[in-house]
Structure 1
C-alpha cells in the first residue's frame, strides 16, 4: 500500500487573467498564420509580431513551435466538438442538423465581423509530427463518430456505415465552406445557411429518382511497374500530399517513397511546387474528363451528375492513383493557392451548370446550384480518406452507392436501394 509523502509541495498558483489573455492572443495569431501559410509556415517571429511581443516572450507560453501548432489545432477540434454536442441537445435529427448549421454560421458571422477567433483549418493536420498527429486525428474522428450517432440514432449494420459516411461528408463540407464563403457578404450568411441545410438534409434528387449511374473509365495513362518517370513521381506525390498535406510532403519524403535519391527527383522535375501543380493539373483534368464524358453521353442531368460522381468515386476508392485533395493544398503559397482555387471553382461551376439544366428539365430538385456544386467537389475530394470504409463494404459498387447517396438523397432521407 502506498504511503503518503512526508512533504507536499505547495500547489502552483493558477494562471493569471493576464497570462490567459496573452496566451489566447498567441493562439489566435497562430490560427491566422496557419490559415494563411499552412502548418509549416507557422513561425514564432510571425506570431510575435502579430501580438506585439518578441520571440522570447512567445516561448514563455509555448516552448516549441510544434507545441503551439498542436494546441492551435486542438483548440479548433474542441470548438468543432462543442458545436456537435450543442446540436445534440435538439429533440430530433432534423432539429439537430438545423442547430448544427445555425451554430456554425453564427460562428462564421462572428469571425467575419472579428468578434470571434478564427477557426483554424484542419487540412494541414496531416503535417504534424507524431504522436500529436495521431492523437488529434483520433480526437477529430471521435467527433465524426459522435455526429453520426447524433444525426442517425439507433442505426445498426449497413445503416451505421451510412451514418458515418453522412457525418464525414457533412464535416468536410463545413471545412470547405472557408474556401468559398468569402464570395458572400456577412448579411447573406443566413440565406447560405438555409440553402446548405436544405441540400444536406434532403439532397438534390427529386422524389422517386433512381440511383442507376453508368460509371466510365477516365484514366488513359499508367506507370509501368518498376519504371521511374514523371508519372510515377506524380502518383507518389499525390498519395503523399493526401496523407501529409503540402507542407508535410518534402522532396526527401517523395523520393524516399519511391526509394530513389533527391538527385533522381531533380533529374525528372525542377522542384516541388512544379510537381504539386502538375499533380493538381492531373486531378483537374480527370474531373473535367468525367464531366465532359457525362455531358456528351446524353440522358438527363441527374444521369450525368450521378454517373460522373460514381466514376470519380471509383477512382478514389481504387486508391492506386486517387485525386489530389484540394483541401490539402490550402497551405500552398498564396500565388499557387489562388491558381488551384480558381481551377477548383471551374470544376464546381461545371457541376452547377449541370444542376441548373437538371432543375430546368425536372431531373434535379430545386437547390442552390452554386452551393451544391461546392459541396459535391468537397465530398468527392474527401472520399480518399474513406478508403478503409469503402473496403469494408460488400463491393465497390455498394460503397459508391452509399457514399454518393449522402449528397444526392440527403442525410434525413432514406438512401437509395441497391440493385
Structure 2
C-alpha cells in the first residue's frame, strides 16, 4: 500500500472520528439542556447515538468531560458571533448584528439545519478543574461583549455600567431561546427589529423620564404563624440559584437550612415540592409588586418603571433573590407546566401595563409581548448582577440594570 493510500485511510478515519464526536456532542447538548449536568448520563447519550456506553468513553472518559465539552462548544459558537458583531462600526450596529446572528442560528436549529444551542444555566454543577476552565472561557466571552460598548460616543459609561449592560445583553440573548418557540421562524426578522429597537431606544414616549416610585414590600406575610417558612424558602432559593436544580441535593439544602434530612421530608414530600413552593413565592412577590404599581395614581410608564425598579432591587434584598427560571426545565411534568403558567401570568401582566401605556401615550408604540419577555429576562438576570458588578449595593441595582433596558442601553 502506498503512503498516499495510508494518508487517505488516516484522513478518512480522522473524519469519521470527528463526525462521531460531533454527533455525540449534539446528542449530549440536547440531554444536558433538559436534564442538567447531574441528570445527564453517558448511557443516555450512548443510546441516543446508537452506541454502547464504552464506545462513548472512547471519546469522553467521564460524564463531566462530556458536559464541559458541550459548554465549550457552545461558547465557541457564541464567540464566533461576537467576533463578527464586534467588527461593526458602531455600538448600535454591533448589538443589532449580534441579535441577527443569534436569531439566524436559532432559526437553523429550529429547522434542523444546526445542532442545538447550549444552555449555560448549569455550568456551576461541573466539578473542578473543568468548571474553572469553562468559567474562564465564559468570562472571556463576556469581556468581548462588553467591548461592544467601548466607543468614544459612550465615554460617559464607566466600567460598572458597561459590565451591567454586557450582562443585560447576553441574558437577553440567552433568555430569548425560552420564548422564541412561540414565534414562527418566518417572524424572526421582525423579532430582531423589535428587540433591537427596545434595546437601543427604550420604551418611554417623548418627555417621559426615569422616575420610579417606591412600592410596598411585596414579601409574602405569614397568616399561619409559620414565619420560619419565609426564611426557609429564601435560603432554599439562594442555594438552588447557585447550584442549579439538580446540583442542589436534599442533603445540601438541609445543611444550608440547618435542618436534618428527616426534618426536610417532614415539611416537603420531595425536592420538587420545595422547588414548586419557591416558584410560588416568586410569583407572589412579582404579582404583588405589579398590582401595587398598577394602583399608583400615575401613568403606565411610571407604573412600569416602578415595578421593574422595585423587583430589581428586591433581588439584592435580604428577602431575595427570586428563583431563576432555569430551574423550570428540570421539573417533571405536569409540575413544569404549572410553574411555566405562573411565569406566563407575570409576563402577561407586564404586557398589559405596556399596552395600557401605549394607549395613554406614556409609552411609545413598541411590541408589548416582546418587551414583556425582555423585562422578565432582565429581572431573572438581576439575581446574578453582583457577579459582574462586585460591591454592588441594593439601591444601585435598578439604576444600573433596569434603567438601561427601559430607557435604552446606550444612554
TM-score (norm 1): 0.89
Q: Deviations over 1:288-318 (max 9, x none)?
A: 0000111112211111111111111121122
Q: Distance in 2 between matches of 1:56 and 1:228?
A: 52
Q: Distance in 2 between matches of 1:221 and 1:79?
A: 46
Is the counterpart of residue 218 in structure 1 residue 208 in structure 2?
Answer: no
Is the counterpart of residue 410 in structure 1 residue 408 in structure 2?
Answer: yes
1:229 to partner: Cα distance = 4.2
Name the counterpart of 2:341: 342
Q: Distance in 2 between matches of 1:151 and 1:93?
A: 6
1:89–1:96 contact (8 Å) kept in structure 2: yes
Name the counterpart of 1:132: 130
1:23 to partner: Cα distance = 0.4
1:274 to partner: Cα distance = 0.2
1:21 to partner: Cα distance = 0.4
2:219–2:319 contact (8 Å) kept in structure 1: no
CA RMSD of aligned residues (A): 2.1
1:230 to partner: Cα distance = 3.3
Q: Distance in 2 between matches of 1:380 and 1:65?
A: 32
1:228 to partner: Cα distance = 9.5
Q: Distance in 1 between matches of 2:125 and 2:364?
A: 40
2:37–2:64 contact (8 Å) kept in structure 1: no
1:408 to partner: Cα distance = 0.7
Name the counterpart of 1:163: 162
Name the counterpart of 2:320: 321
Name the counterpart of 1:234: 233
**Do the aligned partners of residues 276 and 149 (structure 1) sit closer, same or farther apart at CA in structure 2, a change above 3 Å counting?**
same
- Structure 2 regions of 5+ residues with no counterpart? 1-9
Name the counterpart of 2:395: 397
Q: Distance in 2 between matches of 1:205 and 1:349?
A: 19
Query: Secondary structure of the equivalent of 2:320?
Result: coil
Name the counterpart of 1:8: none
Name the counterpart of 2:69: 71
1:391 to partner: Cα distance = 6.2
Q: Deviations over 1:156-214 (max 9, x none)?
A: 68532112111111111111111111111111111111111111121112233211111
1:314–1:400 contact (8 Å) kept in structure 2: yes
1:130 to partner: Cα distance = 2.4
1:389 to partner: Cα distance = 5.3
Query: Secondary structure of the equivalent of 2:38?
Result: helix
Name the counterpart of 1:281: 280
**Do the aligned partners of residues 135 and 335 (structure 1) sit closer, same or farther apart at CA in structure 2, a change above 3 Å counting?**
farther
**Do the aligned partners of residues 367 and 337 (structure 1) sit closer, same or farther apart at CA in structure 2, a change above 3 Å counting?**
same
Greater shift in the superposed pair: 353-362 or 257-266: 257-266
1:84-233 matches, within 5 Å, as 84-153=82-151, 159-216=158-215, 217-221=217-221, 229-233=228-232
**Do the aligned partners of residues 228 and 296 (structure 1) sit closer, same or farther apart at CA in structure 2, a change above 3 Å counting?**
closer
- Structure 1 regions of 5+ residues with no counterpart? 1-12, 415-419
Q: Distance in 2 between matches of 1:241 and 1:234?
A: 10
Name the counterpart of 1:18: 16
1:220 to partner: Cα distance = 4.2
1:279–1:324 contact (8 Å) kept in structure 2: yes
**Do the aligned partners of residues 158 and 398 (structure 1) sit closer, same or farther apart at CA in structure 2, a change above 3 Å counting?**
farther
1:246–1:331 contact (8 Å) kept in structure 2: yes
Q: Deviations over 1:80-108 (max 9, x none)?
A: 12211110011111211121111101101
User: What is the aligned length?
Assistant: 396
Query: Secondary structure of the equivalent of 1:355?
Result: helix
**Do the aligned partners of residues 142 and 207 (structure 1) sit closer, same or farther apart at CA in structure 2, a change above 3 Å counting?**
farther
